[in-house]
Structure 1
Amino acid sequence: MRVFKFGGASVKDAEGVKNLAAVLNAAGHENTFLIVSAMGKITNAMEKVVDCYFEDKSALGLAIEEVKEYHHEILGELFASKQHPIYARVADLFDEVKGFLAWNKSPKYNFVYDQVVGYGELLSTAIVSAYLNDSGIKNTWIDVRNLIKTDDNYRDVKVNWEKTQERVSTQVEKGKLYITQGFLGSDENNFTTTLGREGSDYTAAILAYCLNANSVTIWKDVPGVLNADPRYFEKTQLLNKISYREAIELAFYGASVIHPKTLQPLQRKEIPLHVKSFIHPNDPGTTVGKGIGIEPEVPCFIVKKDQVLMKLSSLDFSFIVEDSISDLFKLLHDHKMKVDLIQNSAISFSVCVDNKFGKLEELLNHLKGKFKVVHHEGVSLYTIRHFNSAAIKSLQNGREVILEQRGRETVQLVVK
């Protein structure tokens, strides 16, 4: 089988759903497992529903109504009659959301989040499945929660691979076109769980692994994987082929390619991953698979904005050794600082971190009791894989470089 995954941008409106059907007609749809995300920004809208439930119940009804209106607008453009069965199916799904919020007694945010937010995917797949059937593309809608089994660490679950493999093997027939949801699973008590952000890509990898699929294709609004983010860099270039290892390296440094947890199951069974454009489905896109490096071998640029660079040195000029480094990492962990770069000498330790949770001031107060601390806020961390002198020069142009670190294939620059 083949696994196709369409993200929220591909089904953000009625034209997107129609285009999905056109892509299937162009690429073929027999023996295919189709995974579809929530439409457009609906995951954010469902998160707002959860927040209203906990913080402002008077706004809850309006938050749900906004989600309903968004989907009804799409329904109106896709289906000629309001008597179409899909309207009743969508109404039932909204009744389920309201019902859960009415009877729920759990005060745990993460549990409620998982029970509510996943309705975005249930709504989108119900609508897409109905439209495809009406368009002559016969498909079987399947609830992914019956296939992917997980633990109950809500919002950040681990997959039970043995139970998932058993479910997929017994419930999926070869030769059909299936449509299911990304992002979702269920625990042993059949409560809904979510796989975290980028969860729909991970869903594709899980099902591909269990199906021994021939390939996975992720359909996006870009031509494939580029050597740099076009929002920040000019003259980007399409990468035709990337090895699993190279894709994991790029993701580690912060490239918005493919999440490592998506690549790992595919790598274990050497299932190739294609990243293609749903706007130009006949273009070749990018293939991630077994091999060496990237093709073409060009510098790949990654930037992380709004970072914090801290340089710590011992107050008494003593060495910074294993014990003090261990204490430093515990402090960074306790203050939820994501470490993106480390550089140390005998008496100093520099670290570039992401202050995502706003705990920098608290951390600095702890550190200043033990170290001399110099810190720079609002810096940018640039990483270049497969760098050359021209690539480095292009970043240094007009910028103050306050830290540089080089390896054989990678250079990192912290700049103001």
Structure 2
Amino acid sequence: MQVLKFGGSSVANAVNINKVVGIVQEALKKDRTVVVVSALGGVTDLLLQSGALAAAGDEQYKNVLQVIEQRHLEAVKALIPVAKQSSVLSWMKQRCNEIEDICNGVFLLGELSARTKDRIAAFGELMSSHLIAARMNEHGAVWKDSRELILTDSNYSNAAVVRDVTDHAIQQYFASVNDQLFVVPGFIASNAERQTTTLGRGGSDYTAAIFAAALDAGLLEIWTDVSGMMTADPRLVPHAKALPHISYQEAMELSHFGAKVIYPPTIQPVMKKNIPVWVKNTFDPDAYGTLIEREVMLNGNHIRGIASINKITLLSLEGGGMVGIPGFSKRLFEALASEQINVILITQSSSEHSICVGIEDALAEKAKQVIDDTFRFEIQSGKVDPLVVEKDLAVVALVGDNMKSHPGVSGKMFGAMGRNGVNVRAIAQGSSERNITSVVAASDVRKAINVLHEEFFETTYKQVNLFLAGTGNVGGKLIAQLQQQQKYLQENLRLQLRVIGMANSRKMLFKEEGIDLANWKEALEAGEPMSLQQFVDQARARNLRNSVFVDVTANGEVATVYDQLLSKSISVVACNKVACSSSFEYYRKLKDLAREFNASFLFETNVGAGLPVIGTLNDLKRTGDVVNRIEAVLSGTLNFVFNNYNGEKPFAEVVKQAQDEGYTEPDPRLDLSGTDVMRKIMILARESGEQLEMEDISNESFMPASCMEGSVADFYKEMANQEAHFKALYAKAAKEGKKLKFVASYDNGRAAVGLQHIGPEHNLYHLYGKDNVVLFYTNRYPDQPMVIKGAGAGAEVTASGVFADILRAAH
């Protein structure tokens, strides 16, 4: 004997029912078969809606009943040959009339009892099973009413089965007939008075398990609209994987924690009889599906799946008066049980100072009232604090039989969530160690499940979600590099970088699936008007795992939002120097936020473009070295200018050439005034451990004050007027056989920048083009410094430095 159950989606319409018939035909070749069916998809909801409308005195219930009748009559006409339709149509019409009579009575009384509600809901399965039996009449199908075989108590809507009586009735009936194919309605049963009861939503699965267990079936097949159980809900995790094999206990845990593929009580009856359960896809019958059995071979992963329950409320009862006093827990659970409030999760501190339980959101008010009444004396006397009620939470659970033999699973779980800013409100672990349960904010569920799925199941790649501000010279180069390296990163580093958000000064664009970098300019141009705060709010609200905000602007306002991002565990990669060269208080705040919320705050390109200056400095510090002195040429612009100026070509033209080749800031005066170099040496001093502000740095400017006034055009005009000044600077250095270099220095707490004459014996002399050089004199390098030298300006190398920081943040 084998039992096949088909869900509502599998029998939603005539097309789907014909698929079911084909599956049953194949099954009949193997063994005697019982087919259990749900109501046509959506009909149970319509039936309950009609009852509720009737009880509320709303005559719209009649329209709903017409929809139900029309669906069934149309299905009969589509499935049953014309010559045989009359009797089936007549039977359906009689049932529809019965429903209408019951609803008319409810309408007149203005009351819908639990018993009547079950009576109405039962018609869905009664009609669908009769229809399918008639469709399979040519295969010798026999229709049998489950209410004649399954006996329950009178707990309407969620009745408990009287197993011994039920098993005997099923066995006796099937022993008395010789037919090969039977169709029975799921979900419905009857009590001792032969009144209709139901087994709870999803109860058709349970019906199938009851029949399978009573008949010692060789197999129970659950046919649904997905190809088996998955490692996570595919609606939340696009890369969820099918589970070909799973144990009974794991299936029960996953179904309890919200996996909708199979109804939780289904497993218990078949597990006792060791009957395999095969979850299959009606719409892809050749797919393997999931086989649930007692012993499951390991597939290399001790975690079997991740599940969640939404709309959870935590009730926390605590107080010194609970310590050492027996019976507090008993009174709490008795109070909840008296109001039929199911407890989903329990956690208690070892000090007995507090106990916390999780329940459905909908029952929170009722639970608070009964607990307040039960502990009124203790609360009023101060022995127990008033009950704390926390709503808008969810349960996320890791499930797997083999977790108990693998240490470190909990650490890996909570570490992954912590790194992504998912705060865990409560934790519970079953005594079997088959699940680890955490309570998180409802807004974090999607993120938490994706983070955990990536941590435990994703062997292909890690997904990193970027929010990019700035698409100018450097930003454009960065986007091109990201596009060029996408395939390489996925194949070699197992990273999938997706640009989710993109913005410039005028427009912003968001795409959850990732912006097409081949056509980003057109897409951004068609985006919405730019608002920095809205851009930040979107990045925070989307709450995506492994999020990185990338600032490739020079905008001071953008630098003020880093704290909002870091506090949401969104890493920040900044080409923009403003934040790290602003007040020491803000710089320190950003570093502290990054540490507190497990985010990265990386700004390698603030000094030396793509050169590993800050990274090397941090390596020195982390390994215990002390930086005593720094000498550096930190402006690619100024080095380019003084390497190319010899008094023959006007100074203003050389500066303009540097700007045209992309080496200067948008306003070249930031470079030539020394302000940009001041920022850079201050950042290096701060990273060395010095608390330094801009006003603490001395600046010996070589630029005439008149050049720094007015617009950029005025700046170039005045530089041309001051050519004699620049010639004199060059001539003096050349006469000494030296070169002009704009040097930044830091020496035991003091920092300065200024133009210097550098001779051939100096480390800074042989520096050409736009190169930068940094000399670190430390305890380990007291006389011969550590030297970092190379191209220190240019959009391409700066973009590559930003790219490298993104990869560091990703890891």
Please indicate the TM-score interval, normalised by the length of the shorter structure. Answer: 0.7 to 0.9
Query: Is the counterpart of residue 281 in structure 1 residue 285 in structure 2?
Result: yes
Closer/same/farther in 2, CA of residues 129 and 384 from structure 1, 3 Å limit? same
Which amino acid in structure 2 is aligned with residue 62 of structure 1? N
Which amino acid in structure 1 is aligned with residue 69 of structure 2? K
Query: Is the counterpart of residue 308 in structure 1 residue 313 in structure 2?
Result: yes
Q: 1:356 matched to which residue of 2?
A: 362
Please say if residues 244 and 288 of structure 1, whose CA atoms lie closer than 8 Å, have aligned partners that are also in contact.
Answer: yes
Please say if residues 209 and 266 of structure 1, whose CA atoms lie closer than 8 Å, have aligned partners that are also in contact.
Answer: yes
Alignment match of 1:146 (pick from 145, 148, 152): 148
Q: Per-residue displacement from partner, 1:195-244 (whole Å, max 9, x unpaired)?
A: 22221111111111222211110001111111211122242122222222
Q: 2:52 matched to which residue of 1?
A: 51
Q: How does 1:385-396 map to 2 (within 5 A)?
A: 385-386=399-400, 388=409, 391-396=413-418
Distance (whole Å) between structure 2 residues aligned to residue 110 and residue 405 of structure 1: 34
TM-superposed deviation, 1:99: 4.1
Equivalent position SS for 1:265: helix
Which amino acid in structure 1 is aligned with residue 436 of structure 2? V
How many residues are treated as equivalent by the alignment? 413
Please say if residues 11 and 20 of structure 2, whose CA atoms lie closer than 8 Å, have aligned partners that are also in contact.
Answer: yes
Distance (whole Å) between structure 1 residues aligned to residue 11 and residue 100 of structure 2: 24
Which amino acid in structure 2 is aligned with residue 7 of structure 1? G
Distance (whole Å) between structure 2 residues aligned to residue 348 and residue 151 of structure 1: 37
Alignment match of 1:187 (pick from 186, 191, 194): 191
TM-superposed deviation, 1:393: 4.4
Q: 2:397 matched to which residue of 1?
A: 383
Q: 1:342 matched to which residue of 2?
A: 346
Closer/same/farther in 2, CA of residues 19 and 293 from structure 1, 3 Å limit? same
TM-superposed deviation, 1:406: 5.3
Q: Per-residue displacement from partner, 1:308-333 (whole Å, max 9, x unpaired)?
A: 2344321x566264322223323433
Q: Per-residue displacement from partner, 1:36-63 (whole Å, max 9, x unpaired)?
A: 1100010111112222332226333223
Please say if residues 36 and 180 of structure 1, whose CA atoms lie closer than 8 Å, have aligned partners that are also in contact.
Answer: yes
Closer/same/farther in 2, CA of residues 233 and 334 from structure 1, 3 Å limit? farther
Deviating more after overlay: 53-62 vs 273-282: 53-62
Equivalent position SS for 1:3: strand
Q: 1:170 matched to which residue of 2?
A: 172
Query: Is the counterpart of residue 413 in structure 1 residue 413 in structure 2?
Result: no
Distance (whole Å) between structure 2 residues aligned to residue 188 and residue 330 of structure 1: 29
Deviating more after overlay: 11-20 vs 359-368: 359-368
Q: 2:575 matched to which residue of 1?
A: none
Equivalent position SS for 1:262: helix
Q: 1:35 matched to which residue of 2?
A: 36
Closer/same/farther in 2, CA of residues 55 and 373 from structure 1, 3 Å limit? closer
Please say if residues 225 and 281 of structure 2, whose CA atoms lie closer than 8 Å, have aligned partners that are also in contact.
Answer: yes
Q: 1:9 matched to which residue of 2?
A: 9
Deviating more after overlay: 214-223 vs 160-169: 160-169
Query: Is the counterpart of residue 330 in structure 1 residue 334 in structure 2?
Result: yes
Alignment match of 2:159 (pick from 157, 160, 170): 157
TM-superposed deviation, 1:358: 4.5
Distance (whole Å) between structure 1 residues aligned to residue 125 and residue 143 of structure 2: 12
Distance (whole Å) between structure 1 residues aligned to residue 52 and residue 429 of structure 2: 44
Closer/same/farther in 2, CA of residues 23 and 334 from structure 1, 3 Å limit? same
TM-superposed deviation, 1:405: 4.4
Q: Per-residue displacement from partner, 1:42-86 (whole Å, max 9, x unpaired)?
A: 011111222233222633322311211222332343346497222
Q: 2:126 matched to which residue of 1?
A: 122
Query: Is the counterpart of residue 227 in structure 1 residue 231 in structure 2?
Result: yes
RMSD (CA atoms): 2.9
Gaps of 5+ in 2: 404-408, 442-811
Equivalent position SS for 1:267: helix
Deviating more after overlay: 397-406 vs 229-238: 397-406
Higher-Rg member (1/2)? 2
Q: Per-residue displacement from partner, 1:82-102 (whole Å, max 9, x unpaired)?
A: 972221121122123234456
Which amino acid in structure 1 is aligned with residue 9 of structure 2? A
Distance (whole Å) between structure 2 residues aligned to residue 306 and residue 243 of structure 1: 28
Distance (whole Å) between structure 2 residues aligned to residue 151 and residue 352 of structure 1: 28
Please say if residues 429 and 436 of structure 2, whose CA atoms lie closer than 8 Å, have aligned partners that are also in contact.
Answer: yes
Please say if residues 38 and 123 of structure 1, whose CA atoms lie closer than 8 Å, have aligned partners that are also in contact.
Answer: yes
Equivalent position SS for 2:395: strand
Q: 1:255 matched to which residue of 2?
A: 259
Deviating more after overlay: 217-226 vs 228-237: 228-237
Equivalent position SS for 1:371: coil
Distance (whole Å) between structure 2 residues aligned to residue 406 and residue 231 of structure 1: 26
Which amino acid in structure 1 is aligned with residue 61 of structure 2? L
Closer/same/farther in 2, CA of residues 288 and 349 from structure 1, 3 Å limit? same
Distance (whole Å) between structure 2 residues aligned to residue 306 and residue 148 of structure 1: 33
Alignment match of 2:385 (pick from 371, 378, 396): 371
TM-superposed deviation, 1:156: 2.6
Please say if residues 239 and 296 of structure 1, whose CA atoms lie closer than 8 Å, have aligned partners that are also in contact.
Answer: no
TM-score where L is the length of structure 1? 0.88
Please say if residues 184 and 195 of structure 1, whose CA atoms lie closer than 8 Å, have aligned partners that are also in contact.
Answer: yes
Please say if residues 316 and 356 of structure 2, whose CA atoms lie closer than 8 Å, have aligned partners that are also in contact.
Answer: yes
Closer/same/farther in 2, CA of residues 152 and 340 from structure 1, 3 Å limit? closer
Distance (whole Å) between structure 2 residues aligned to residue 337 and residue 320 of structure 1: 26
Closer/same/farther in 2, CA of residues 219 and 295 from structure 1, 3 Å limit? farther
Deviating more after overlay: 97-106 vs 186-195: 97-106
Closer/same/farther in 2, CA of residues 352 and 187 from structure 1, 3 Å limit? closer
Q: 2:564 matched to which residue of 1?
A: none
Closer/same/farther in 2, CA of residues 271 and 73 from structure 1, 3 Å limit? same
Q: 2:272 matched to which residue of 1?
A: 268
Deviating more after overlay: 78-87 vs 303-312: 78-87
Distance (whole Å) between structure 1 residues aligned to residue 238 and residue 252 of structure 2: 24
Distance (whole Å) between structure 1 residues aligned to residue 297 and residue 309 of structure 2: 23
Which amino acid in structure 2 is aligned with residue 2 of structure 1? Q
Q: Per-residue displacement from partner, 1:2-56 (whole Å, max 9, x unpaired)?
A: 0000011101111111111122234436510001110001011111222233222
Please say if residues 228 and 261 of structure 2, whose CA atoms lie closer than 8 Å, have aligned partners that are also in contact.
Answer: no
Q: 1:399 matched to which residue of 2?
A: 422
Closer/same/farther in 2, CA of residues 81 and 266 from structure 1, 3 Å limit? same
Distance (whole Å) between structure 2 residues aligned to residue 296 and residue 141 of structure 1: 45
Please say if residues 313 and 364 of structure 2, whose CA atoms lie closer than 8 Å, have aligned partners that are also in contact.
Answer: no
Q: 2:485 matched to which residue of 1?
A: none
Closer/same/farther in 2, CA of residues 60 and 330 from structure 1, 3 Å limit? same
TM-superposed deviation, 1:145: 1.6
Closer/same/farther in 2, CA of residues 47 and 414 from structure 1, 3 Å limit? same
Q: Which has the higher contact order (CA 8 A, sep 6+)?
A: 1
TM-score where L is the length of structure 2? 0.47
Deviating more after overlay: 109-118 vs 163-172: 163-172
Closer/same/farther in 2, CA of residues 334 and 154 from structure 1, 3 Å limit? closer
Closer/same/farther in 2, CA of residues 394 and 161 from structure 1, 3 Å limit? same
Deviating more after overlay: 95-104 vs 340-349: 95-104
Distance (whole Å) between structure 1 residues aligned to residue 417 and residue 339 of structure 2: 31
Q: 1:92 matched to which residue of 2?
A: 94
Please say if residues 139 and 179 of structure 1, whose CA atoms lie closer than 8 Å, have aligned partners that are also in contact.
Answer: yes
TM-superposed deviation, 1:260: 4.1
TM-superposed deviation, 1:149: 2.3
TM-superposed deviation, 1:268: 1.9
Equivalent position SS for 1:338: coil
Which amino acid in structure 2 is aligned with residue 249 of structure 1? E
